[in-house]
Structure 1
Amino acid sequence: MSEVVLARIDDRLIHGQVMTAWLQYTGGNHIVIIDEETAKDDFLKTVMEMSVPEGVKLDIFGIDDAAEFLINDNDDEKLLLLAKTPAVYYALIEKGVKLDEIVVGGMGAAKNRSKFYKNISASEDEKVIFGKIIDAGTSMKVQIVPSDKSTDVSGLLS
């Protein structure tokens, strides 16, 4: 059975921090992007494939296919899950995917979002989803890179 070594929210998906710091820190060897838009866009998929270091496997799924993959996975890999929003992870949890921890890494400013913590922004709906994820038994923390001190999201929701 594969092991999820990192489940990260980052609206940029694959970028330098993920590729260097988090891959090295976790020992991950298989990146799984869960994003409906990317899964349907051949050009975006090609760009993502070109961003992955040699020797690291990449899969790109929509939510339903990702849930099926994660529930039925029988490989022996170290998985890094990447999604743009907390709603994706909550949908996976509702479909029966067990996640011990989710790291909030990159949620930039956008319409309906306000400052949540340092350079992390979240909408009121996203904050509600954070709470639902935590209530479902998954811990959440903000941590941009592995060398940063993490901050528990539950303490930021009050």
Structure 2
Amino acid sequence: MGEIVLARIDDRLIHGQVMTAWLQFTGGNHIVIVDDATAGDEFTKSIMSMAVPNGIKLSILGIADGSEVLRSVPDNEKIIILAKEPQTYLALIENGVQLDEVIIGGMGARKNRQTFYKNISASEEEKEAFRQIIAHHVKMKIHVIPDQGSQAIEGLL
């Protein structure tokens, strides 16, 4: 049976850190982006597909389809899930997707967000989603790149 090797919150979804450090660190061979807006944008999807190395499968799905795919990871697949917001992970969990851990990699400053930890920002709604994810017995931590330390977020809330 396959496995989910990384579940990461990152505003940028696919970028250099994911394609180099995290892909190598996890041994992932299938990237699943779960984001309703991205799944509905053919131009963005085509740009993202060009950023993925040969031999790595890419699926860009909305929450409903993503939940269905992720509930039964096919044999031999090591899935990296990428989403822009914690609310997406909360919806996946509530739709029956089993996750052990969600990491926060990149949540930049934007309207309604305040500094949460160093260069990570979060809105009150996002912090509430963090709490609810943790209440589902899913670990959450900030972990920007694999060779740097991580920070559990429970104490930051």
Shorter-chain TM-score tier: over 0.9
How far residue 155 of structure 1 moved from its aligned partner, in angstroms, is: 1.4
Shift of 1:85: 0.2
Cα distance in 1 between the residues matched to 2:99 and 2:71: 11
Structure 2: which 5+ runs fail to align?
A: none
Residue identity in the other structure for 1:106:
G
2: distance between equivalents of 1:155 and 1:33? 28
Partner of 1:45: 45
**TM-score, scaled to structure 2:** 0.98
Q: Distance in 1 between matches of 2:49 and 2:8?
A: 18
Q: Deviations over 1:101-131 (max 9, x none)?
A: 0010000001000000000000011111100
1:103 equivalent in structure 2: 103
- Offset from partner CA, 1:16-75 (integer Å, 9 cap, x none): 000000001001111000010110111111001000011111000000000001113333
Which runs of structure 2 are paired with 1:18-29 in the superposition (5 Å)? 18-29=18-29
1:70-149 equivalent positions in 2, closer than 5 A? 70-149=70-149
In structure 1, the residue corresponding to 2:126 is in which secondary structure?
helix
CA contact (8 A) 2:3 2:73 kept: no
**Distance in 1 separating the partners of 2:134 and 2:117:** 17
Q: Give the structure 2 partner of residue 35 of structure 1.
A: 35
Cα distance in 1 between the residues matched to 2:75 and 2:47: 25
- CA distance in structure 2 between the aligned counterparts of 1:57 and 1:125, rounded to whole angstroms: 32
Number of equivalences: 157
1:147 partner SS:
coil
Which amino acid counterpart does residue 32 of structure 1 have in structure 2? V
| Percent identical | 61
Q: Displacement of 1:134 after TM fit? A: 0.3
State the shift of 1:94 in Å: 0.5
Q: 4+ residue runs of structure 1 moved beyond 6 angstroms?
A: none
Cα distance in structure 2, aligned partners of 1:100 and 1:62: 21
TM-score by length of structure 1 reads: 0.97
35 and 41 in structure 1: CA distance in 2 versus 1, 3 angstrom threshold: same
Q: Mark the runs of 5 or more structure 1 residues left unpaired by the alignment.
A: none
The two structures, once aligned, show a CA RMSD in angstroms of 0.7
